[in-house]
Amino acid sequence: MKPVTYLALGDSLTEGVGADGPDSHFVAQHFCHMKKTEWCRLINMGISGLTSGELYELIQTPAIRKLIPRVSHMTITTGGCDFISWYEAGASLSGLAKTMRLVRDRVGRILRLVRELNPEVPVQLMGFYLPPPAYEMGFLFASRALKSMNENYDHSCRKYGAQMVNPFDSFLHRKDFFADEVHPNQNGYNVLARLFGKAIQPAGIPAGDQEAVSETENQTSETVVP
């Protein structure tokens, strides 16, 4: 089997803020379940505070454009920081509509560019969960907005041959899954890792070949952090 080269792009969720350690967030767990040889490689480019617009700029840089065609698997987390910026700016209704529109457009552009650079790579895009402050500002209002975003993410994923990982139901009313107002704790990251694992098989492994997936003991990996 071909070795896995897993590129994780995104914000603080990809970086693993809130997890117990650098080897226990969802990206590290996801890689552990997909690596098959000692030559497998994880490239974690999670950057705290990265907005969807900044992620789109990042993947247009020469280094990332050169890297994407060479990877065997990708995950993306983005959009949360855009909504945090909206919330900190006053949480207006007009601002929410604008933020939702911009994030949808940027995510579509991100997926389209990834597909242009690598038509075959399995891509997983994470949707939204309700963070604890959303319950205080209005559960029904917040849940409708984020469900709408998840539907749009799913539509973009189907359009560009990606898979949407939806954490909404798993995190609903589970404040015990959070380390702070927005980031999961270790229990939350464990849930995310399971959701990503269920959504797709590792690149190059046929669905149902669980023995190959489980052969991860005594293997090493390389993590590259910008």
For residue range 177-191, what is the model confidence (pLDDT) as tens digits? 999 999 999 999 999
Decide if pLDDT at 163 tops 90. yes
* Model pLDDT for residues 104-158, shown as the tens digit of each residue: 999 999 999 999 999 999 999 999 999 999 998 899 999 999 999 999 999 999 9
Lowest mean pLDDT among 54-58, 69-73, 133-137, 166-170: 133-137
Decide if pLDDT at 220 tops 60. no
* pTM score of the predicted model: 0.87
Q: Whole-angstrom Cα distance, residue 212 to residue 142?
A: 41
Give the pLDDT confidence score for residue 48 in this predicted structure. 98
- Note whether 124 and 114 are within 8 A (CB): no
Give the pLDDT confidence score for residue 34 in this predicted structure. 87
Give the C-alpha distances (Å, rounded to integers) separating 195 from 93, 104, 165, 167, 206.
31, 22, 7, 7, 18
φ, ψ of residue 110 to 5 degrees: the values are: -60, -50
Give the pLDDT confidence score for residue 137 in this predicted structure. 81
Decide if pLDDT at 22 tops 80. yes
Decide if pLDDT at 83 tops 50. yes
Number of other CB atoms surrounding residue 56 within 10 Å: 17
Q: Whole-angstrom Cα distance, residue 81 to residue 183?
A: 11
* Model pLDDT for residues 98-118, shown as the tens digit of each residue: 999 999 999 999 999 999 999
Which domains are present in the chain? 5-224 (3.40.50.1110)
How much of the chain exceeds pLDDT 90, in percent? 81
Decide if pLDDT at 200 tops 70. no
Sorted by sequence, the CB contacts under 8 Å of residue 203 that are 6+ apart come out as: 2, 4, 34, 72, 73, 121, 122
Sorted by sequence, the CB contacts under 8 Å of residue 56 that are 6+ apart come out as: 106, 109, 110, 113
Q: Can you read off the two tokens belonging to residue 75?
A: 């995950």
Decide if pLDDT at 21 tops 50. yes
Give the pLDDT confidence score for residue 37 in this predicted structure. 75
